[in-house]
């Protein structure tokens, strides 16, 4: 009986360790997209960041949080900016049948004109759709599906895929 108990404890400890080992967060590289001014137009530009996570949902969440943190001083010095308003918060991220569902606070749609609204829209789309398992993103605001984002009418009424070439706005 005692041998069986010890054997059971060893097997249980091995299973718990194995589960932890294969589900623990690890360092991963994600791409975050900021805005680069190109004279009379702007576009999104990629920046790599190291985050901790495992799995598409975890990594998309980490990438979007890095996006909301904005460019570093070094990135700003290289000409990168963000159109996402300060104070924007990511409420949740989930993955449904290949679509990232990203829910933001309403601050995301405040201020700016049409170029600014397009810039923040594309920053979110490109950052959220970088993984093959999730080629589309659906943007929610305060948990609600909307037809458009902000007063500029950027359409968010369906899942969006990134275009082949970075947009200019």
Domain locations along the chain:
25-161
pLDDT band for 6, please (50, 70, 90 cuts).
Answer: low
pLDDT greater than 50 at residue 19 = no
pLDDT in tens, 48-75: 999 999 899 999 999 999 999 999 999 9
Rounded average pLDDT over 28-39: 96
Mean pLDDT of 111-116: 88
Span 146-161, pLDDT tens digits: 999 987 789 999 999 9
Average pLDDT over residues 70-98: 97
pTM of the entire structure?
Answer: 0.84
For the chain, give the DSSP string: -HHHHHHHHHHHHHHHHHHHHHHS-EEEEEEEEEEEEETTEEEEEEEEEEEEE-SHHHHHHHHHHHHHH---HHHHHTTEE--SPTT--EEEEEEETTEEEEEE-GGGG-S--HHHHHHHHHHHHHHHT-STT--EEEEEETTEE-SEETTTTEE-SS-EE--SS--B-
Cα(114)–Cα(140) distance, rounded to whole angstroms?
19
**pLDDT (0 to 100) of residue 26:** 84
């Amino acid at each position: 009986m005692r041998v069986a108990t010890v054997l059971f404890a060893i097997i249980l400890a091995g299973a718990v360790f194995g589960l932890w080992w294969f589900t623990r967060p690890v360092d991963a590289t994600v791409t975050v997209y900021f805005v680069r001014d190109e004279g009379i137009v702007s576009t999104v530009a990629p920046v790599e960041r190291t985050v901790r996570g495992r799995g598409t949902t975890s990594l998309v969440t980490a990438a979007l949080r890095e996006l909301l943190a904005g460019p570093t001083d070094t990135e700003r010095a290289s000409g990168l900016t963000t159109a996402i308003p300060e104070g924007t918060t990511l409420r949740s991220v989930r993955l449904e049948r290949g679509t990232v569902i990203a829910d933001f606070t309403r601050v995301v749609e405040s201020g700016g004109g049409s170029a600014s609204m397009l810039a923040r829209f594309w920053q979110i789309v490109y950052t959220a759709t970088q993984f093959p398992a999730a080629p589309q993103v659906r943007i929610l605001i305060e948990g609600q599906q909307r037809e458009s984002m902000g007063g500029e009418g950027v359409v968010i009424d369906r899942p969006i895929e990134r275009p082949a070439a970075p947009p200019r706005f």
